[in-house]
């Protein structure tokens, strides 16, 4: 197998495994008749602290999970392909920082889903490519702007449906931008 093909496949293993875990959790939750919403973030409440670490694992229904699947796979694949040495650390930092910010700015209620992580990945990849001025990364920045430029509107309360956590989206975006600046001298 050519090294480039091998690198493409390896970059997809962690994202695929993570998505597999998300579906197993949802199937388990539905199959057992449980509700895992209490594993989300509930801002400014002790009961919501655990959600900082568990919120991307929980989705309200299969439609919510399906809507997050393709962007989560593509963006995390880009992260693991282009930033393979930093990818796992960045993924974890984006996950936790998005959770912390949502805990600090969120409206009362449970905040769940991997959307904040998706926003973190999209904004990290976009700004990192622009900051580094590295041609392949700038191409990824343009592709992300083309594919996911509409995400920007869901970070503001007046454009977001009532039951959607715009705070989680905004938290992910801020986390992604901060990571792009913090890690601009690391990686490719």
In whole angstroms, give the CA distance from residue 5 to residue 53: 33
Question: Which CATH number fits the domain that encloses residue 121?
Answer: 1.20.1540.10
Report pLDDT digits (tens) over 70-91.
999 999 999 999 998 899 999 9
Q: Is residue 187 part of a domain?
A: no
Report pLDDT digits (tens) over 29-50.
999 999 999 999 999 999 999 9
For position 21, what pLDDT does the model report?
Answer: 98
Domain hosting 101: range is 3-182
For position 132, what pLDDT does the model report?
Answer: 87
Closest CA to 123 of 177, 86, 170, 72: 177
For position 77, what pLDDT does the model report?
Answer: 96
In whole angstroms, give the CA distance from residue 42 to residue 102: 9
> Number of folded domains in the chain?
1
Which portions of the chain are predicted below pLDDT 50?
Answer: none
């Amino acid at each position: 197998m050519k090294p480039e093909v091998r690198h493409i496949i390896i970059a997809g293993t962690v994202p695929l495994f993570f998505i597999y875990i998300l579906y197993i959790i949802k199937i388990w939750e539905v199959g057992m008749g449980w509700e895992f919403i209490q594993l989300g973030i509930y801002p400014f409440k002790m009961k919501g602290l655990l959600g900082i670490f568990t919120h991307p694992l929980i989705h309200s229904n299969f439609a919510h999970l399906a809507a997050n699947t393709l962007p989560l796979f593509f963006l995390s694949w880009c992260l693991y392909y282009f930033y393979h040495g930093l990818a796992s650390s960045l993924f974890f930092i984006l996950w936790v920082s998005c959770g912390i910010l949502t805990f600090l700015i969120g409206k009362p209620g449970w905040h769940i889903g991997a959307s904040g992580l998706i926003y973190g990945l999209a904004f990290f990849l976009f700004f990192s490519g622009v900051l580094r001025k590295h041609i392949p990364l700038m191409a990824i920045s343009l592709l992300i702007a083309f594919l996911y430029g509409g995400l920007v509107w869901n970070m503001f309360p007046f454009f977001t449906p009532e039951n959607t956590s715009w705070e989680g989206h905004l938290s992910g975006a801020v986390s992604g931008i901060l990571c792009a600046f913090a890690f601009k001298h690391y990686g490719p």
